[in-house]
Structure 1
Amino acid sequence: MERVTLAGDVTLSRLVYGMWRIGDDADTTPAHVQAKIEACLEQGITTMDQADIYGAYTAEAILGDALRAAPGLRDRIEIVSKCDIVAPIGKYADAPCKHYDTSPEHIRASVENSLRDLGTDRIDLLLIHRPDPLMDPDATGAALDALVASGKVRAVGVSNFRPWDVELLQDRMTTRLATNQIEISLAAMSSFTDGDLAFHLRRRDPVMAWSPLGGGSLMTGDGPVAAVLDRLAAQHDTDRAAVAVAFLLRHSATILPVLGTNALSRIARIGDACRVKLSRVEWFQLYEAALGREVA
């Protein structure tokens, strides 16, 4: 599978396995989690996407248990994690309300907690999960720079940031922000039309796409997009999911779709999207169906 180079020497697989639902599975044993990772590795998918808040702050420990039970597995994968959301659940159950915290103290504590839960000495890519209206860009930038310098974090980026948020934080850092993880799919087209992808193309940043299947709506819905997906899936001898992901891979920006499922049978087919090569006309047929109109 194609690999994408981020800042420095960090590389990720073009498709990423999203672990936001790993704590929802009926089986969270190390052996079952390892089976999911091995199913990814068989396809060349080496990047695992995590966040401290996933699974009500339990998902990183679930992955960590699997890594501790299988020595050597950690060195075969890259771990992406995120921090700054404080929700009144799990270890933050006493928080008065959900909020964001990009203070250096919170970022450092979150990284130490993640390293402990994951049972590792480094996070390959750390993302600030949400823009924080109270962020002090000088302090946050310095904290991220220090984490990279320490080796505890190999690269840093952001998630759900708009272009001006990225520019503000980047302006106060020496480390290059490696990526922005945003919602991109045929069910969420704003990134194609509001300038976000163009901004990252100008910066030459890879972009990570969360919910690339529209939270599952593209797999079960009907209407114009579903009709085109079904027709192209039949022509390419695959399914809707592969075509919907191939749509993102075809874009001029280097988009890394983050795909999450607990079903081993579906995990084993994540890589099918890389075998679908959409023509320019096929891509625009999907684009127009998602826009609901012909391009001008």
Structure 2
Amino acid sequence: MHSLSSAQLAPGGPVFSPVAAGLWRLHDWNFSSTELAQWIEHAITLGITTFDHADLYGGFRCEALFGQWLKANPGQREHIQLVSKCGIKPADPARGWQVKHYDSSRAHLLASVDASLRNLGTDYLDLLLIHRPDPLLNPDEVADTFASLKASGKVRHFGVSNFSPSQFALLAARTPLLTNQLEASLLHTAPLFDGSFDQCLQAGIRPMVWSPLAGGRLLQPAAHPALHAALQQVATELAVTPATVALAWLLRHPARPIAISGSRRLSSLDEAAAACRLQLDRQHWFALLEAAHGHCVA
């Protein structure tokens, strides 16, 4: 087994792998049970032991697909970490949801956790996140619900996803939050400058990052030719792939983000693991930022 340095999410928090494996598209991958086992076990062998889920991924079907593997390999539970998210209700008349909306109510959070545990084939989640900021979120109700879930042993730690700094601060004043899972990449650098990563640094917690390769657009020359060329140049200099460089660029930030790799290719997991061992120097880092923004820093 390859060793990657462990990533404690926060003081007293869970220990995750420095990159996570994302299951957002699992249903679309059309894996056989053998292919799914190969993918999961390849990640674990690399030291990528944290798996990122959400209740609604794949039309509420991805967690159960992963759960088929876990139910067949229950001894692996102690070696992996399971993250899930809840609170989004897409329009689904069959469920009585006429319009897409958010639901952070106690009843919905409790029901969602029970469904995730059942589908994943586990009796606890290592981390539960509120998936999107809900304008109707009652921070006291959410804090009380988190306390109930922790007391029951169903969820060990909590955080949020896609929250602005002020939204994060509001809920964090009521209950411990161990991460904010945000979109960030060389094509979406906002969290580095809007206070989101600063807030994580100040609180001593590590952000998680979704779409660290901008959904693959970073690797497509037409999406941003100058940035693509810069990634290729640095990758050639360092004898790694452009994807590894792009991930290492994020991991270089002092907030120590945990990037989520969500590709069906085993080689993408290899590239993510390689990024954890690649320390970009400042000039490479700023050259990529300059290419992404189209101008040098002031």
Alignment TM class, shorter chain as reference:
over 0.9
Partners of 2:94 and 2:283 in 1: how far apart? Answer: 50
Which residue in 2 is equivalent to 1:53? 56
Query: Is 1:206–2:209 an aligned residue pair?
Result: no
Which residue in 1 is equivalent to 2:279? 277
Which residue in 2 is equivalent to 1:4? 7
* Structure 1 residue 264: Cα displacement: 2.6
Which residue in 2 is equivalent to 1:70? 73
CA deviation vs aligned residue, 1:159-212 (integer Å, no higher than 9, x gap): 000111111111122xx1000000010010111121211121111110000000
C-alpha RMSD of the superposition? 1.4
Q: Which amino acid aligns with 1:58?
A: R
Q: Is the 8 A contact 2:53 2:63 kept in 1?
A: yes
TM-score by length of structure 2 reads 0.94
Corresponding residue SS for 2:201: helix
Query: Is 1:195–2:195 an aligned residue pair?
Result: yes
Aligned pairs, number: 292
Q: Which amino acid aligns with 2:34?
A: A
* Structure 1 residue 276: Cα displacement: 2.0
Residue range with higher mean Cα deviation, 148-157 or 1-10: 1-10
Which residue in 2 is equivalent to 1:168? 170
Task: Give 4+ residue runs of structure 1 displaced > 4 Å after superposition.
Answer: none
Q: Is the 8 A contact 2:249 2:280 kept in 1?
A: yes
Given candidates 114, 121, 124, the residue that maps to 1:122 is: 124
Q: Which amino acid aligns with 1:196?
A: S
TM-score by length of structure 1 reads 0.95
> CA distance change for structure 1 residues 132 and 153 in 2, over 3 Å: closer, same or farther?
same
Q: Which runs of 5+ in 2 are unaligned?
A: none
Partners of 1:277 and 1:268 in 2: how far apart? Answer: 16
Partners of 1:283 and 1:97 in 2: how far apart? Answer: 43
Partners of 2:251 and 2:132 in 1: how far apart? Answer: 24
Which residue in 2 is equivalent to 1:288? 290
Q: Which amino acid aligns with 2:73?
A: A
Q: Which runs of 5+ in 1 are unaligned?
A: none
* Structure 1 residue 148: Cα displacement: 1.4
Q: Which amino acid aligns with 1:183?
A: E
Given candidates 14, 18, 32, the residue that maps to 2:18 is: 14
Q: Equivalences for 1:125-136 in 2 at 5 Å?
A: 125-136=127-138
Identity %, equivalent residues: 43
Given candidates 107, 113, 131, the residue that maps to 1:105 is: 107
Partners of 1:128 and 1:99 in 2: how far apart? Answer: 13
Corresponding residue SS for 1:115: helix
